[in-house]
A and B are shown apart, each in its own frame.
Chain A
Amino acid sequence: ETGVTQTPRHLVMGMTNKKSLKCEQHLGHNAMYWYKQSAKKPLELMFVYNFKEQTENNSVPSRFSPECPNSSHLFLHLHTLQPEDSALYLCASRSTGLGANVLTFGAGSRLTVL
């Protein structure tokens, strides 16, 4: 357990479904991230939140909608996804203190879109 908890661990959804991924961190960090991990591709940054404010949106399609109600929780709302969106979605957090560089990742949510 890294201190970053993601639920659900596995999710199968149809293209017309609406579902959400949840991330919770117990580390007192102020920055939270969503990454997409696809087979044979590098980790792709999707969104960044600092102190609940979105600071980066890496040209992610609008069918992915993030929400950060507080510094400890991060959601990724999914709607009208495509089969190519099937991937492992990783949440990470980081302290924003001086010199803090290390991202702490959760175990990921494995998403399959049928």
Chain B
Amino acid sequence: GESVGLHLPTLSVQEGDNSIINCAYSNSASDYFIWYKQESGKGPQFIIDIRSNMDKRQGQRVTVLLNKTVKHLSLQIAATQPGDSAVYFCAERYSGAGSYQLTFGKGTKLSVIP
């Protein structure tokens, strides 16, 4: 069936470097994508989202890139800080038939080395 997955389950980055977290999706009809961050002991928190009619969106220190040709999504974090250590989830939404349902990936654990 359709699914969202992550290329790398773990990622270690030196503090101050840039981080790139990748996500592959398989439903070419998905029209909306979202990234969440989950710190230990907390629920997922919204980071940034992007609609399928865009290929790039920037937030504060974060950028999401969408490549619909290869069905790939990435989250870039600039100047990674220790507070960025968490599990990052991507999710896609297919809004066909009026359903809102998000499909989540398994998550990538980002560890920032001080």
Contact = CB atoms under 8 A, between A and B. Distances in A.
Interface of A: 2, 4, 6, 31, 40-43, 45, 48, 56, 90, 92, 94, 101-108
Nearest to B5: A42
Contact of B45 (A56, A94, A105): A105
A104 B42 CA distance: 12
Interface of B: 4, 32, 34, 36, 41-46, 49, 89, 91, 93, 99-107
Contacts of A4: 43
B93 A101 contact: yes
A31 to B, nearest CB: 8
B46 A102 contact: yes
Nearest to A90: B43
A42 B46 contact: no
22 contacts: A6-B43, A31-B100, A41-B106, A42-B4, A42-B89, A42-B104, A42-B107, A43-B44, A43-B104, A45-B101, A45-B102, A101-B32, A101-B34, A101-B49, A101-B100, A102-B46, A102-B49, A103-B46, A103-B102, A104-B46, A107-B42, A108-B43
